[in-house]
Structure 1
């Protein structure tokens, strides 16, 4: 397993190099001039040129790229022109907010989708199976930004059940002492249950928005994988041996059906990393996605490059975790490795 992990880590290097090159080139071909944007509409050509020179944009693309690589080697992602802060500092402060939202949505979708997929497969053709199809169809059909706006209109404006979509905490709550950056964890560590409840209240709508989007592929894959395993010979043998249905379904069938589901979880997590950009804008969530969108509108290259690089690192780390999970779920994967 260690050897396979090391091989996997070696293959990550070309991927990250490709991400760095492609991201640098894409930011340079985007419309807009960051120097003109930050100089203002009343600035003259000399002022714009001075700002462009201070940003290094007057150099050729190869020179800019070599300068960017040198900064990366030193761990310097540049400064965000909109805030004046280092991009690395901005990402480090905002990433926990995005991670908390994304992981909460993924956990909520798993809690709903996996049991729903199992029941739909076990009771094929029943009302549970039809409910699973309706839920998955709605999940893949509704865009996340539309679902978010719909939830806000219904549960905040109409019913008044949810708090105002103003970020991670309402206006009357104070952030807990920083330990992990996750308000749910930090508030529990501080013993501040009022802040914990306020954090949960603010998380419900955005997490539910993303969970509805995520549970569709998870439920469909769970159902399809379970149907395939339940029709296998060893399942019929287990039933004929007198094992109860719960043992057959959970211990034998579901464990053998988990590999495709785990693969789908990795794909869904990567989709959520992209979907949280829109959800964060709808709910005023101070995460890395909204930071990248604002930087993109302002033609601010450094935050966009830092955002893409951070997402690439998260995705690569996630794939590595999935590969390791394969070996835990199915020993045959360890033997092949």
Structure 2
């Protein structure tokens, strides 16, 4: 297992280096001039040039890149020009909000998509199978921002069931003492059930928005994988041996069909990390996605580069976790598999 982890980490190094180079070059190619943006519309060309020199934007690109690599080696992602705070501090502060939203959405999607896919495969051609197709088609077709706006319109504006989409907590509540950064967990640690309910209420609509997007590929892959396994010879042999249908489906079929689902789960999680950017803007969620969008609009290089680097490292960690899960689910999966 340690050899597998070492191999995957070594293979990820060129990809991370490529992300660093591409992100640096693309951020410099963005339209707009950060110096002109922060100098203001009434600034003179001389004032803009002074700000550009202060920010180091007047130097050759290769010098800026060398300085950027040196800062990365020291763990310094630079300072945000919009907030004046270190980018690393901003990311560490905002990452739990994005992680809590994404993980809850993924849990909801798995709890809905996997049973739905299994039932659709077992009862092929039934109303459950048709329902699965409708749900997956809707999940793939509807953009996340449209789904979010639709849920806000129905459940907040029309029905009044949901709290206002204004962040992680209602204005009448104060955040719990920081332990993990996850409000649901921290409120339980503080034994504040009212705060837990308030935080969960704020999470329901944005998490549901992401879950609708995530459950479509999960349900489709679960159904396809289960259909392939259910048509196998060993499943027919198990049925001929008189085993109960529940035992055949859960113990034999699903266990052999779960590996493609795990692969899809990792891909969906990486998609959610990108999709939550729009969802965070719709629901005023103070995560790293909304932070990156605001910095992108302001042509603030450092936060954009820090955001992309964070996503790249999370993606590498996720792939590594999937490889480890392969070995746990099926020990026959070797390093070369």
Counterparts of 1:302-317 in structure 2, within 5 Å, are 302-317=302-317
**Structure-2 residue corresponding to 1:254:** 254
Aligned mates of 1:146, 1:2 — CA distance in 2: 44
Aligned mates of 1:14, 1:153 — CA distance in 2: 45
Give yes or no for contact 2:109–2:211 (8 Å, CA) kept in 1.
yes
1:56 and 2:62 aligned: no
**Structure-1 residue corresponding to 2:130:** 130
RMSD between aligned alpha carbons?
Answer: 0.8
CA distances 1:210-229 after superposition (whole Å, capped 9, x unpaired)? 00000000000000000000
Q: Secondary structure at the match of 2:42?
A: coil
Report how far residue 8 of structure 1 moved.
0.8
Aligned mates of 2:185, 2:334 — CA distance in 1: 34
**Structure-1 residue corresponding to 2:81:** 81
Report how far residue 29 of structure 1 moved.
0.6
Report how far residue 336 of structure 1 moved.
4.8
**Any gaps of 5 or more consecutive residues in structure 2?**
none
Aligned mates of 1:155, 1:314 — CA distance in 2: 33
1:321 and 2:321 aligned: yes
Aligned mates of 1:285, 1:247 — CA distance in 2: 44
> Which piece of structure 1 moves more, 2-11 or 109-118?
2-11
Report how far residue 37 of structure 1 moved.
0.2
Aligned mates of 2:93, 2:234 — CA distance in 1: 51
Report how far residue 178 of structure 1 moved.
0.1
Aligned mates of 1:211, 1:220 — CA distance in 2: 14
> Which piece of structure 1 moves more, 71-80 or 327-336?
327-336
**Structure-1 residue corresponding to 2:180:** 180
**Any gaps of 5 or more consecutive residues in structure 1?**
none
Aligned mates of 1:50, 1:40 — CA distance in 2: 13
Report how far residue 328 of structure 1 moved.
1.0
CA distances 1:282-337 after superposition (whole Å, capped 9, x unpaired)? 00000000000000000000000000000000000000000111111112113756
Q: Secondary structure at the match of 2:236?
A: helix
Q: Secondary structure at the match of 1:175?
A: coil
CA distances 1:83-107 after superposition (whole Å, capped 9, x unpaired)? 0000000000000000000000000
Aligned mates of 1:22, 1:262 — CA distance in 2: 29
Report how far residue 240 of structure 1 moved.
1.3
Report how far residue 46 of structure 1 moved.
1.2
User: Alignment length, in residue pairs?
Assistant: 337
**Structure-2 residue corresponding to 1:271:** 271
**Structure-1 residue corresponding to 2:41:** 41
Q: Secondary structure at the match of 1:208?
A: helix
Aligned mates of 2:28, 2:172 — CA distance in 1: 43
Counterparts of 1:133-144 in structure 2, within 5 Å, are 133-144=133-144
Report how far residue 138 of structure 1 moved.
0.4
Aligned mates of 2:3, 2:145 — CA distance in 1: 43
Aligned mates of 1:183, 1:71 — CA distance in 2: 32
